[in-house]
Chain A
């Protein structure tokens, strides 16, 4: 876990005030017509919020629970000329950059407010805490490492990579090679054990598509998984289609996955989707020498090639 991962609620409060001021200014000056952020939901958890007036900008929040991936909501605003404001932290900016690099939203229509990140907590885990412990975590910054979002544990980009204005100071970054301990464990299993392991993984799935919908790398307007003609994926929740779904979902984002872990976090039945995403990411580093495969590049690893790529034919 990066050393910089020390929750700083005071800093976040300051950032929240600055964010409200900034958003109100953008809206009143007419720089943007809508600002994407979070507001407090009925259960105390932040929910995505679209502020359209300076008055509404006062409802924006910035606290250790703002885990939602806002970038994906931009796709609802694809048509039109309006300029959209959005707030991002480190991983939020990777998600945004993913959409930009995939040419899914015009940069000129965006005003990005970046906030350097000191870590976020897993909303589900925080909600489950007794009142006192919850307060200590949220207001006192006393949070066990296990309370953080999984992605904070491997984050090497806490400072926004895309921003028009940055609120607050840069936080220290530690870029080392990404680690994939769980994938390594699975690789050590026998093929039969692995097959059995993944069978239980995808048997749990109820195919609600939440993992696809939340993913910033899954942004096609028409998804082949929804098509009837041709029927790439049968609609029945039978083993063959469960396997096919997970096979496709992970492979189609290979090289573009930002390792945000949102797919796994939003899954209501606890399918460990990162076991598949991480495997592909690890192999992309090993096979093609891409050191930070989760950081959007101008050309994604599978959108390019070199003459020197390993050749499978030689291996038979």
Chain B
């Protein structure tokens, strides 16, 4: 995937907040880079760390997990569990030699189209600055 100069970012977005937030950025016609490939999940707590490693293995230059703000989770606490797990994951990725800067988590609510556009813009910039992701051991 990472053959062109444009980085590919795989985004796991929760159905209730961030996906709707991205939608509102779209319907609000906000200008945003096109680097993020969105995968809708029920909750940020649904994101199994292995999804993230797989995304990198299959050529993602960056991975983004975005969910409801803490205390706003549709399932009350899913994002709190996710926050702990992903915090640990970030260090684990770094330890395994995978650049941790390529992995980010954000909280974007359904009404925050503006914030979503900003998240995409700034992350795309940061990932672009890192260059293409070094190829992880991969089948591809």
Interface residues, chain A, with chain B CB atoms under 8 Å away: 186-187, 191-199, 232, 234, 238-244, 247-248, 250-251, 254, 279-280, 283-284, 287-288, 301-305, 307, 309-313, 316
Contacts and interface: CB of A to CB of B under 8 A. Distances in A.
Contacts of B138: 239-240
B92 interface: yes
Contact of A195 (B54, B97, B107): B97
22 contacts: A186-B95, A191-B94, A192-B97, A195-B98, A232-B50, A234-B139, A238-B139, A239-B137, A240-B57, A240-B136, A243-B136, A243-B137, A280-B88, A287-B84, A302-B81, A305-B80, A307-B70, A307-B80, A309-B83, A309-B87, A312-B83, A316-B126
A194 B94 CA distance: 9
Contacts of A195: 96-98, 134
Given A239-B137, A309-B87, A244 B95 contact: no
A240 B49 contact: no
B105 interface: yes
Given A240-B57, A251-B92, A316-B123, A305 B97 contact: no
Contacts of B70: 307, 311
B2 interface: no
B90 interface: yes
A195 B98 CA distance: 7
A280 B57 CA distance: 21
Given A191-B94, A195-B96, A310 B88 contact: no
Nearest to B69: A313
Given A191-B97, A240-B57, A311 B88 contact: no
B57 A302 contact: no
A159 to B, nearest CB: 30
Interface string B34-51: 000000000000000110
Contacts of A284: 88
A195 B81 CA distance: 28
Given A191-B97, A194-B95, A316-B104, A309 B80 contact: yes
Nearest to B99: A191
A244 B107 contact: no
B68 interface: no
Interface string B68-89: 0011000001001101111111
Given A194-B96, A287-B84, A313-B107, 5 more contacts: A191-B97, A244-B54, A284-B88, A301-B84, A316-B122
Contact of A243 (B53, B83, B126): B53
B106 interface: yes
A288 B84 contact: yes
Nearest to B81: A305
Contacts of A250: 92
Nearest to B58: A240
Question: Which 8 residue pairs are nearest across A and B when measured between Cβ atoms?
Answer: A195-B97, A239-B137, A305-B80, A194-B97, A312-B105, A240-B138, A240-B137, A283-B91
